[in-house]
Amino acid sequence: MKYLLIDTSTNALIIMLYVDNQKLDEQIRLGKQDHQAHIIPMIDAVLSKQNLRPQDLDGIIVGVGPGSYTGLRVGVMTAKMLSYTTGVKLYQISSLVFLTSGYTHKLLAWHDARNNQGFSATIFEGKIIDEEKVRHEDELTPDDKARLIRIENDTILIDAAVIIAHKTPVDDVYKLIPNYLRKTEAEKNLDKKS
């Protein structure tokens, strides 16, 4: 089985190719909110190295968030476009699971959401065991702090086998949307005006 894995929820643009239980290639680019300029060339580079075309894949797995609004839209829309144009099956996974899938202990994944808040979920063996939510740092208990993994460039630890094992099929490509967990600033401002 040939899977393309994509995550754009942070400033790290991650593209991985996993074939028959083996990672064949990966590209990770740490950028400044410019994923849209690099995602297609990176996918092309990863596939070309193995003499593959997108339609040769058995599945595309995309991290759907939570995370950066623009980054999520870039990754999800690219995955949807590839799936739609090639007929390759599309799968989704939480970006919190994607980015911490290499950890083997129970952890509290925490992705900075600004203003002393974080997108968080308790994860064990690739499964979310509570709900993804936005929390304030002041809400963290001593137990939470002991299990806390802040998702930053140097703490991302990926195990593609875990991602593949916990992927969820997307039944309708058109209906897949990023998991923002909260409203954008524009939506909040619109709510204030109503």
| pLDDT of 190 above 80 | no
- For the stretch 144-180, pLDDT in tens is 999 999 999 889 999 999 999 999 999 999 999 999 9
**What pTM was computed for the model?**
0.94
Cβ neighbours of 38 (radius 10 Å): 17
CATH of the domain at 81: 3.30.420.40
* Confidence category of residue 77, pLDDT binned at 50, 70, 90: very high
| pLDDT of 31 above 90 | no
- For the stretch 133-154, pLDDT in tens is 999 999 999 999 999 999 998 8
Question: Average pLDDT of the chain?
Answer: 95
Strand-pairing partners, residue 90, are 60
Cα–Cα nearest to 46, from 82, 76, 96: 82
Q: Is residue 189 assigned to a domain?
A: no
Cα–Cα nearest to 180, from 35, 72, 92, 108: 72
Q: Is residue 194 assigned to a domain?
A: no
Span of 20-24, 42-46, 70-74 with lowest mean pLDDT: 20-24
Q: Is residue 190 assigned to a domain?
A: no
Total domains, the chain: 1
* Confidence category of residue 183, pLDDT binned at 50, 70, 90: confident
Q: Is residue 188 assigned to a domain?
A: no
- For the stretch 87-132, pLDDT in tens is 999 999 999 999 999 999 999 999 999 999 999 999 999 999 999 9
Q: Is residue 192 assigned to a domain?
A: no
Look up residue 120 and give its amino acid: S
Q: Is residue 193 assigned to a domain?
A: no
Q: Encode 99-124: b = buried (16+ Cβ within 10 Å), e = exposed.
A: bbbebeeebbbbbbbeeebbbbbbbe
* Rounded (5°) CA angle 143-145-148: 110
Q: Is residue 125 assigned to a domain?
A: yes
Q: Is residue 191 assigned to a domain?
A: no
Question: 51 with 164: CB under 8 angstroms?
Answer: no
Residues contacting residue 133 through CB under 8 Å, at least 6 positions apart = 119, 120, 121, 181
Its domain, for residue 70, covers 2-182
